[in-house]
Structure 1
Amino acid sequence: MSITATMVKELRDASGAGMMDAKKALTETNGDMEAAIDWLRTKGLAKAAKKSGRTAAEGLVGIAVEGGVGVAIEVNSETDFVARNAEFQSMVSDIAKAAVGAADMEALKAADLGGRTVEAVLTDKIATVGENMTLRRMVRIEGETVAAYVHNAVSEGLGKIGVLVALKGADNGIGKQIAMHIAATNPASLSEADLDPALVEREKAVLTEQARESGKPEQVIEKMIVGRMNKFYEEVTLLKQKFVINPDLTVGKAAAEAGVEVLGFARLAVGEGIEKVEEDFAAEVAKTAGL
């Protein structure tokens, strides 16, 4: 397979590796991007975390909680100018409240919002503002109680990162602390049992190859893998992570000491996974002004 300059650039952006290392990784893996990242990690030439999750679009996350139900939505806009507009913020807040009674995205689009559907309200706002907007995601969780936290809040329930935490038991303030922890650490799952098996196998394969690079016997490598996988679980699963409020405890232990059980969580960050063409500030102003 021919390795193009575009492919090399994409891999460099995702891994932080040098140009020649990126090209060699793609050559060795026949152009498979994920396999190339794993190859670079095995050789110690890339960071474990890819950059593809960075915020790359504008808009807001809105959250709403009623009793034991919590919802978070993401509405994207083309520019931050629109995201800071009071009318846009009011619309996102209203959509979040409407989402409490919706089972999924299709139900939310059809939900009533002042006598019109949510989808119609969004379409009208696009026509009025002259900028594309998208109701991109909705997540819903339930528990005996639901705690919420918004990071970089522009007003109540609106910001760049929204977190919901479902609890079993009476929340005495631990819920918001855990939500703040999730905003900061972005865990992959609640526990080891909830992790995507493909993610686990991929990590195990990378760690195995790294261990074999050391030249140690297979029986030693097996023990190394067990230890490294346990460390991996401590890094990516919420209940095993060190609690940012008190690093002497895991999140699971802190919740237990507070008399609650964490049933689940949801975290939305504006623009996760969306690629955005970078523009200079003058171009963004010109676009917004319709020039």
Structure 2
Amino acid sequence: MADFSLEDIKILRERLGTGMIDTKNALVEAGGDLEKATELLRLKGAKGNAKRADRSTSEGIVAAKVVGNSATMIELACETDFVAKGEKFVALSEKVLDAIVAAGAKTVEEALAAQADGKSVADAISEEAAIIGEKFELRRVTVIEADAFEIYMHKTSRDLPPQIGVVLGYTGSDAETARGIAQHISFANPTVLSREDVPAADVENERRIVEEISRGEGKPEAALPKIIEGRLGAYYKQVALLEQDYARDNKLSIAKVAQDAGITVTGFARFKVGA
């Protein structure tokens, strides 16, 4: 029998987070050599990563960090909520986020190439996935530039890490109102800041749809332009933040709430795990 102790098993499990049987088998194969056993377990995990490549990652965590005039938010995905709420996965998300911020990465490609403790973020994620035995994926990265920020992280379940994250960039000093708007974004899910930011192709497509619907309802020809514009207004309320009715007071638009508070929303991002 290989020469190793229960203490060796404990050390290796704490180092890699592997199961008892896999750890013991690796030590047997390595003749009790901790470093060789570590290598064997990592190679086994890497092979498992390849097999898991086609699996879906519908769980995970969102995390954000502000440094100076930049706020970075990421979505790190995994397969199960059990892993998502684990200490190792949460710690990995923090490590990955710190590395991305330090590198100034703004895209997933740049983020994966960033360095984390002497290795790339891609390798750090892959190694941890191999140890835990699930597929991990850095799905999204965004960077918002602004004078001031409000970060809102929402838990959809008490025992899970944040599943919805919002970064709001603004000018002004009313942090309380900014937080209220960030919370509104988490609920209302706007996709652009203002109606001017909606792609022209999307507007024209919506115009075509509402015109077809209005004509199908037999609306008078003379009334069609006004009806179509009214329905386009409803569409803008769905997608443009400043057009939306404030969740805390639907008699006020977000634009009016911001104006009354003396703040100007300059940008935002919203991530929802798996969406």
Task: Normalising by structure 2, report the TM-score.
Answer: 0.73
The answer to whether 1:238 aligns with 2:238 is no
Counterparts of 2:65 and 2:176, CA distance in 1: 18
1:102-152 CA-partner distances (Å, limit 9, x unpaired): 232222112222222211110111110111111111011010011110110
The answer to whether 1:204 aligns with 2:211 is no
What is the aligned partner in structure 1 of residue 85 from structure 2? Answer: 84
Amino acid at match of 1:181: H
Shift of 1:153: 7.2
Shift of 1:217: 3.1
Counterparts of 1:235 and 1:78, CA distance in 2: 31
Counterparts of 1:166 and 1:199, CA distance in 2: 25
What is the aligned partner in structure 1 of residue 129 from structure 2? Answer: 126
Amino acid at match of 2:64: I
Shift of 1:86: 0.6
The one of 115, 119, 122 aligned to 1:116: 119
Conservation of the 8 A alpha-carbon contact between 1:172 and 1:258: no
1:196-231 CA-partner distances (Å, limit 9, x unpaired): 222212221111111001223322112210111112
What is the aligned partner in structure 2 of residue 69 from structure 1? Answer: 70
What is the aligned partner in structure 1 of residue 218 from structure 2? Answer: 215
Structure 2, unaligned runs of 5 or more = 1-56
Counterparts of 2:107 and 2:77, CA distance in 1: 18
SS at match of 1:159: coil
Which range moves more in the overlay, 58-67 or 140-149?
58-67
SS at match of 1:228: helix
Structure 1, unaligned runs of 5 or more = 1-55, 273-291
Amino acid at match of 1:69: S
The answer to whether 1:169 aligns with 2:169 is no
Map 1:201-280 to 2 at 5 A.
Answer: 201-272=204-275
Shift of 1:170: 2.5
Conservation of the 8 A alpha-carbon contact between 1:167 and 1:263: yes
SS at match of 2:196: helix
What is the aligned partner in structure 2 of residue 49 from structure 1? Answer: none
SS at match of 1:177: helix
Shift of 1:234: 2.3
- After superposition, the Cα gap between the structure-2 partners of 1:139 and 1:179, relative to the gap in structure 1 and judged at 3 Å, is same
The one of 174, 179, 184 aligned to 1:181: 184
Shift of 1:154: 8.0
Conservation of the 8 A alpha-carbon contact between 1:67 and 1:146: no
Amino acid at match of 1:96: L
Counterparts of 2:114 and 2:187, CA distance in 1: 32
Counterparts of 2:135 and 2:235, CA distance in 1: 40
Counterparts of 1:187 and 1:260, CA distance in 2: 19
Counterparts of 2:274 and 2:153, CA distance in 1: 15
Amino acid at match of 2:223: V
SS at match of 1:63: strand
Counterparts of 1:267 and 1:107, CA distance in 2: 20
Amino acid at match of 1:188: T
Number of aligned positions between the proteins: 215
- After superposition, the Cα gap between the structure-2 partners of 1:112 and 1:171, relative to the gap in structure 1 and judged at 3 Å, is farther
Conservation of the 8 A alpha-carbon contact between 2:106 and 2:142: no
Amino acid at match of 1:161: I
Tell me the percent identity. Answer: 36
Conservation of the 8 A alpha-carbon contact between 1:145 and 1:171: no
The one of 152, 165, 178 aligned to 1:149: 152
1:171-201 CA-partner distances (Å, limit 9, x unpaired): 4322221110000000121110111222212
What is the aligned partner in structure 1 of residue 42 from structure 2? Answer: none
Counterparts of 1:127 and 1:223, CA distance in 2: 59
Conservation of the 8 A alpha-carbon contact between 1:61 and 1:160: yes
Conservation of the 8 A alpha-carbon contact between 1:76 and 1:134: yes
